[in-house]
Every structure is written in C-alpha cells, then in structure tokens.
Amino acid sequence: MIELTILMPCLNEAETLATCIRKARAYLDASGINGEILIADNGSTDGSQAIAEGLGAVVVPVPMRGYGAALSAGIAAAQGRYVIMGDSDDSYDFLNLDGFVERLRAGADLVMGNRFKGGIAPGAMPALHRYLGNPVLSTIGRVLYRTPVGDFHCGLRGFSRAAIQRLGLTSPGMEFASEMVMKASLAGLNIAEVPTTLSPDGRSRPPHLRSWRDGWRHLKLLLTFAPFSIFLYPGLALLGLGGMLFLPLLFTPVTLGGVTLDTGTLIFAATFIMTGFQLVWFHALARLFAVRMNLLPTSSQFESLRARLSVDTACQVGAVFLLMAVLATLASVGFWAFNGFGPLDPGTITRTASLVAVLAALGVQSVTNGFLWGLLNQNAPVAAGGATETLEAPRQSV
C-alpha cells in the first residue's frame, strides 16, 4: 500500500520540474517511505510531461486550467493515504518533509507549512505579498474561521487524502488554497502547522499568480463562506444600535453631551433597523442553502432553528408587524382628524411615518423571506445522516 503521494501541479515547468522530482524521490528513498510522485499537468507545452515520465513520476493530464483544478485532479488520482502537495518551481524544499509526515502519522488531517516561521529567503516573495497580501488575508481567515493557521496560502502542505476529499473542494483557481483551510476548519478537522522555508523559484518567466486578481478571489471566498461574520454579526449590531436610537427618538428629541438628536437621527435609526433585520434573514437563508448544498457543516443550534422556523411562523410574525403598521396609521389619521385635519408639526409627521415604515418593512421582510426559507427548506436532508424530510416534518437536532 502506498503511504505517501507527493503531488505537484505543473504548467510549463520544464526549467525546474526535474529538480523537484529528484528531491522528492531522494526524500522517499532516504526516509524509506513507500510513496509515489504525481504530476498534475495543466496542459504544458514545453515538454514537462516527458521530463516527469522520464524520471519515473506519474503524470495526470488535467484539461481544465487552474491551480485548483490541477490539484483536485491530482488528489483524485493519488494512491497514497497521505498527500503532500507543493509547487514544481523549486521554491519549496522537498528534501525536508519529515515534519509533515510526523504530524500526519500522529493523526493530523491537514498539516500546513508556515513560511513566515520557517524563513523566506531574499527575493522569494514579493514585498506586496509578504507584508500586505498574505498577512492580511491570513488574519482575516484566522478571525472568520477560528483557525490557528498562520499562513493560509503556503503551497507546501500535507493532508489525509480521505479527509480532504470529504470536504468537496471545488475552486478551480488559486483560491483553492484558502478553500481547503476554510472547509477543514469548518468541518472540525485536526489541523497542525510546521515551519517551512521558501526560496526564490528557478523559473525565468513570470509566475502564474496575479496579485490583485487572485488576492480578490481569495478574499471573496473567505467572505462567502462566513455568513456569521458578513451577515449575522453586522445585522445584530445594526439592529441593536438602531433600536437604542429609534425607541427614545420616537417620542422626543434626545440630548447627549450637548448634542441634540432628533428626526434626522430617527430616520438613520429606522434604516439601521430595517437593514439589520434583513441581514439577519440573509444569514439564516445563506446558512440554510450552504448546509443543504453541503458547502458548510450544520450545528445543533441551526438544526433547532430549522425545526422551529417555518413559512407559517414567518407569516404570523409578519402579520403582527403589518397589523401594528396599520394600527399606527389609523391612530395617526385619527389624531389628525381630531385636530380638524389642519397643519401638523413636521416632527410629528416624521416620527409617525418612521414608525409605520419600520413596522411595514419588517412585516414584508418577514413574509417574503419566510417564503424563500420555505422554498430552500423543501425536502432538505438533515445533516449527519438524517433521513430526507419535507418542509413540515419535524427535524431533530444534531
């Protein structure tokens, strides 16, 4: 049985591929590991395939272009229990893989290299990446996904092939590196980190990486799979702030430290409430879609929400808000009639209109989002092996 596959994505790496393969072979021979070297070729036109085959490596042709596409195909074709992947540009040290193997054998599902701890040689990483791109994106990733990984984009990493395949990685481009860490963290995999070095690559041509384009794609992916951080927490913050301002200003101006807040602030507070309420709904809908599509893991709290929230519940809540809006409108018209339909104070009009607008908006949002929730929840399977159930069927927490 093959224990280890050393996987290298390749696109026109004839200058450095032979060196990488020889180093990987030397490591396998020196360590006594039963392993294979696999080259996931992304359509090279410089003879890289012949070089790899001549050195005894397995070549897997990958017609779909992209770093992630090449690695996905390579992982699928690998025979090893463990996989260590690394770029074929001679920037990573394939002679020094003991730290990865030791932690994989000890039970880690994913072992990340950390170039900032291991050492980055002069000229090995552009200053933009070293001091801005990698630190910023890695920090965002650690905060959003509560993972200890300090170098989200290190190309040298090892993993249990079975564990990573269960994550269903789909990104075809450079953002594949972030997707692996994100989904491993969300799935609760055992993640470890080892220092590794980065040397200047041996190519005479520019790298395939495009800093701003690929940086944006990494950031976009980090935010897409973080519905708590992009929807729920901002939504709750806006709801809280809006509520604290709206309720007192609904009756009278408020003076704070010599600053008087009045109807202008009331309108902003109303906007905060309506926006925050919709963001909370967006979180619930995004989480439901992601769980159903197996893009994110579920939780006992979310399954409890699914068991309680239905179209009927959302419509009932929406009806209460809409009824309150109608009553507020009738009360305002009655007050106006009592005063002979004469001119009204602008502050009174603004306060009344703001209240009606907020109540009506919350009612409409509850009803419409409730129906969307019901649509997405139709025949949604319960996570963790539960039976498929219809919209009205009770669900058990996991």
Residues 20 and 156 in one domain: yes
In a domain, 389, yes or no: no
> Which residue, among 381, 384, 5, has the nearest Cα to 187 in the 3D structure?
384
Residues 4 and 81: their CA atoms lie apart, in Å, by 6
Q: What is the pLDDT of residue 395?
A: 34
| 40 within 8 A of 52, measured Cβ to Cβ | no
pLDDT interval class at 388 (50, 70, 90): very low
Query: What is 35-49 written as a DSSP string?
Result: EEEEEEES--SSSHH
Higher pLDDT, 54 or 218: 54
308 contact partners, CB below 8 Å, separation of at least 6:
none
Residues 91 and 67 in one domain: yes
Higher pLDDT, 1 or 238: 238
pTM for the structure as a whole: 0.71
In a domain, 151, yes or no: yes
In the numeric block, which tokens belong to residue 103? 């932690």
Share of the chain above pLDDT 70, in %: 93
Helical pair 346-377 and 311-338, crossing angle rounded to 10 deg: 170
- Helix, strand, or coil here: 341? coil
How many angstroms separate the Cα of 237 from the Cα of each of 101, 231, 234, 280? 45, 10, 5, 10
Q: What is the pLDDT of residue 29?
A: 96
Residues 117 and 91 in one domain: yes
Mean pLDDT, the chain, whole residue set: 88
Q: What is the pLDDT of residue 206?
A: 67
Cα radius of gyration (the chain): 28
In the numeric block, which tokens belong to residue 112? 């990340």
Q: What is the pLDDT of residue 32?
A: 95
Residues 70 and 185 in one domain: yes
Greatest mean pLDDT range, 155-164, 176-185, 342-351: 155-164
Residues 102 and 247 in one domain: no
Q: Could you report the per-residue pLDDT of 47-98, keeping only the tens digit for each? A: 999 999 999 999 999 999 999 999 999 999 999 999 999 999 999 999 999 9
Number of structural domains, the chain?
2
**Lowest mean pLDDT, pick from 62-76, 106-120, 204-218, 343-357:** 204-218
Q: Could you report the per-residue pLDDT of 303-322, keeping only the tens digit for each? A: 899 889 999 999 999 999 99
The last residue of one of the domains, among 224, 241, 269, is 224
Structural domain span for residue 72: 4-224
First CA to last CA across the chain, in angstroms?
36
The pLDDT of residue 100 is above 50: yes
In a domain, 396, yes or no: no
In a domain, 13, yes or no: yes
Higher pLDDT, 380 or 120: 120
Residues 214 and 235 in one domain: no
Q: What is the pLDDT of residue 320?
A: 97
pLDDT interval class at 168 (50, 70, 90): confident
The last residue of one of the domains, among 192, 224, 256, is 224
Residues 259 and 355 in one domain: yes
The last residue of one of the domains, among 224, 250, 282, is 224
Residues 353 and 368: their CA atoms lie apart, in Å, by 22
| 281 within 8 A of 365, measured Cβ to Cβ | yes
**Lowest mean pLDDT, pick from 9-23, 231-245, 324-338:** 324-338
What's the mean pLDDT in 356-362?
Answer: 96
In a domain, 304, yes or no: yes
The pLDDT of residue 391 is above 80: no
Other Cβ atoms closer than 10 A to 76: 12
**Lowest mean pLDDT, pick from 65-74, 110-119, 165-174:** 165-174
Higher pLDDT, 247 or 390: 247
What's the mean pLDDT in 37-42?
Answer: 97
In a domain, 382, yes or no: no
- CATH number of the domain at 197, please: 3.90.550.10
**Lowest mean pLDDT, pick from 140-149, 173-182, 295-304:** 295-304
Higher pLDDT, 273 or 217: 273
pLDDT interval class at 213 (50, 70, 90): confident
Residues 276 and 144 in one domain: no
Q: What is the pLDDT of residue 341?
A: 81
In a domain, 327, yes or no: yes
Residues 18 and 146 in one domain: yes
In a domain, 129, yes or no: yes
In the numeric block, which tokens belong to residue 392? 């009205």
Residues 48 and 18 in one domain: yes
Q: Which amino acid is at 40?
A: A
Residues 55 and 116 in one domain: yes
The pLDDT of residue 200 is above 70: yes
Residues 286 and 178 in one domain: no
How many angstroms separate the Cα of 324 from the Cα of each of 35, 78, 261? 70, 62, 26
